Structure 1
């Protein structure tokens, strides 16, 4: 009986549901962004050198990488039967060797070495030199693998490659195909459309200024669309920078990029498309709005790259991002944003930022610091104190606002504004309490818009403000 040749597996998109080049790029970018961009600029035409230098910058957790279950099962069965299972990849040898060791595969690996980019013909040449023509079975996923399949005995095709499968079959190869790919709904999930509800904050200046005409409404809606596209682009970047931390998280490990449900390259292309859409809408709404939008995106990127890992700075940044949404609403609707309103909402968002961290810490499974964050469970007390201070200053600013000339003009019934402090305080206290005991969503804004009791308090507050402004009397005729 003829000896069965080795099973040779491509790595990116075949054994793994991800690409180690992109993994290393985003991991390195999160740790050393300037150095990473320098590597890309220097080696844009030298892929092997680029991969080697990125590998030196990024120490990947190879045991966390999402594997293709069908190909992984083939590897397990091969090893179990005594067959040599070999990894051959265009990724850097440092990663490929580590991956082989992690999964108990052959120590004989083929990969890029800093000089040769082991892809397509280069890979086929090395494998034929090592195992002979048609002396191995090969599993791959891309069109560039066709030259390798042609020199293999059995071609294992991962994904939809009908042209390659037909040509290989006609040339006498045994072809086995494995279903792979990504779904649009998983990409949509990566955009986090449920987070777009945060952008209703753009309506606040319009409501506060009592400007309820259709033209203003349409301008704000366009602003919300621009911010939604911008926010989704940043969510993609954030997820790509947080791949390792998400894979260590009990629920975030199921996110599209962390789980391998959507390829990283698809996320990068989607990011660019969303930026174009956002800037296009921002330009249409005027230079002031566009400036706020750009500032929001730059601050969001800074948060993703560095600030979210810095204690307290991360919470202040989150509060700033929420406040920028309100400023953007004023820029889009072309109404003046009251200084009192901005000073009021900032401590509110400081409180909600603390609530977000308290929720994460309460739901954490250990006392260690949160992956990618600067907090551990012992910090819950400090976060509770700061959230209480935020609540106090927000209520104090609202009380002082009731004495301002603008408030006297817009809300003649001043005493009703004082009464409105009660449901505002009740809502903030509820958010702090639920966050401290881990009884809400990881994002307090999203939770607030689903929390029926909390929504009742907010709507009651809004109703009181409308009454203080005389709108109920005008609308209902009494």
Structure 2
């Protein structure tokens, strides 16, 4: 085994992300006014840009998506007495923090605010320090070809077969570490296709008004569903990009494609506006009222991602409003008046579900031994209070449902209104069931996703639908 120094690149090699991209996203989230300075900093050189962005905020080196196979191999190399050098185009402050966390590197070389240590600059610096062919180099990009041309051996990491071939033309390839495949499942998770089921709420006003035979309205609502789903996916991508650090510290969210480094952040930055543009085009065809509702949803979600999600209780109220906005948008698309009872019922029910979501997160963090939820304003000791508020909100929605059943509107829509009273115990049971499962730690991050997969919830939903259908068709007890 050769004991020549092994030089390791950082971005895309040791970690499955790019710290420049992450620094820019962190600035966009925490100091959006710094984003307008980026062109000026870049005009002074890429090294200046990296240094300024790195100074904009701290990061948690322990939560970064390291390449596990490469890291394990590096530890073996270190144990065998090989000198390891971290050499990166990222800013020196970032590289130093990562090296300190891993504690396997003997030296750190990085951009210093003057020289951007990438490509030819990195090659020259390494040749000056170790001599031509006096080191081996682990890298991942075409910019590293200039370095491999002066190295003795190459270690190709997370790269294409084409790059591995080009690296072999420069020097002997010692090892190849394959890149994780971003398959169809990863892209489904990027778009959060399973979350599109929330947009079925657009059809609620049509169902509540018993206008099931309006084919033209169904077609318009399906187009609205597509528009809202694309808009929601663009928001989910933006939220994931702005919430990388918090997601990486969450037991389940840490496996999300951007957080885990399976899909690079720059792809999300490009994809989100494209999805938004497509959704606006579709929404424009549906109608101006629906478009206005969708724009309000988008803007409120952006405000939520930038700050409201960190405010205690405000975050849950905002989530309830976002759910309810889907129903309002559905009514706008179908050009139907909104029912006061439907809105009141929705707000209380969705507030309860928002509290379920937050309660489940608090429980997960508590089991991890943490006292505070990263990126949120909650302490894990707040869980009992959140539980109480959520159960109260859920039962309030049932009270609204009961009051609605005593209103004049029920007499117009249902032939046997007394049959519809069966919906009240069904809702009481389901709200209680959801909170029981949350209390036992069985709740998914999203209660609506949980409900669609939960057999008891599915049965409760079917019974609820049968009760309403029975009342509409004139069934009697």
**TM-score (ref. length: structure 1):** 0.91
Distance verdict in 2 for CA 1:312–1:82, change over 3 Å: same
Q: Are the counterparts in 2 of residues 202 and 327 from structure 1 also a CA contact under 8 Å? A: yes
Judge which range, 197-206 or 73-82, deviates more: 73-82
Measure, in 2, the Cα distance between the counterparts of 1:198 and 1:167: 47
Structure 2 counterpart of 1:476: none
Structure 1 counterpart of 2:194: 194
Measure, in 2, the Cα distance between the counterparts of 1:458 and 1:172: 64
Distance verdict in 2 for CA 1:398–1:15, change over 3 Å: same
Q: Are the counterparts in 2 of residues 362 and 437 from structure 1 also a CA contact under 8 Å? A: no
Classify the secondary structure of the residue corresponding to 1:383.
helix
Distance verdict in 2 for CA 1:468–1:33, change over 3 Å: farther
User: Offset of 1:4 from its aligned partner?
Assistant: 4.4
Judge which range, 307-316 or 177-186, deviates more: 177-186
**TM-score (ref. length: structure 2):** 0.91
Distance verdict in 2 for CA 1:198–1:24, change over 3 Å: same
Classify the secondary structure of the residue corresponding to 1:438.
coil
Structure 2 counterpart of 1:378: 381
Structure 2 counterpart of 1:399: 402
Match of 1:438 among 436, 441, 444: 441
Structure 2 counterpart of 1:38: 36
Q: Are the counterparts in 1 of residues 24 and 35 from structure 2 also a CA contact under 8 Å? A: no
Measure, in 1, the Cα distance between the counterparts of 2:163 and 2:380: 54
Structure 1 counterpart of 2:469: 466
Structure 1 counterpart of 2:207: 207
Judge which range, 116-125 or 88-97, deviates more: 116-125
Distance verdict in 2 for CA 1:176–1:382, change over 3 Å: closer
Classify the secondary structure of the residue corresponding to 1:111.
strand
Match of 2:431 among 428, 433, 442: 428
The RMSD of aligned alpha carbons is 2.4
| Alignment map for 1:92-241 (pairs within 5 Å) | 92-170=91-169, 173-174=172-173, 176-184=175-183, 185-212=185-212, 213-241=214-242
Distance verdict in 2 for CA 1:278–1:134, change over 3 Å: same
Distance verdict in 2 for CA 1:360–1:87, change over 3 Å: same
User: Offset of 1:27 from its aligned partner?
Assistant: 3.0
Distance verdict in 2 for CA 1:215–1:375, change over 3 Å: same
Q: Are the counterparts in 2 of residues 7 and 83 from structure 1 also a CA contact under 8 Å? A: yes
Distance verdict in 2 for CA 1:339–1:44, change over 3 Å: farther
Q: Are the counterparts in 2 of residues 289 and 331 from structure 1 also a CA contact under 8 Å? A: yes
Q: Over residues 236-264 of structure 1, what are the superposed CA-to-partner deviations in whole Å (9 max), with x where a residue is unaligned?
A: 22222222222222222222222222222
| Alignment map for 1:43-58 (pairs within 5 Å) | 43-45=41-43, 46-58=45-57
Q: Over residues 170-224 of structure 1, what are the superposed CA-to-partner deviations in whole Å (9 max), with x where a residue is unaligned?
A: 4564564331143222232232222221111111011012222222112212222
Does residue 417 of the first structure (1) align with residue 416 of the second (2)?
A: no
Q: Are the counterparts in 1 of residues 189 and 257 from structure 2 also a CA contact under 8 Å? A: yes
Measure, in 2, the Cα distance between the counterparts of 1:274 and 1:471: 45
Distance verdict in 2 for CA 1:161–1:431, change over 3 Å: closer
Q: Which structure 1 residue ranges, 5 or more long, are not aligned?
A: 474-478
Q: Which structure 2 residue ranges, 5 or more long, are not aligned?
A: none
Distance verdict in 2 for CA 1:96–1:377, change over 3 Å: closer
Structure 2 counterpart of 1:65: 64
Structure 1 counterpart of 2:310: 309
Structure 2 counterpart of 1:344: 345
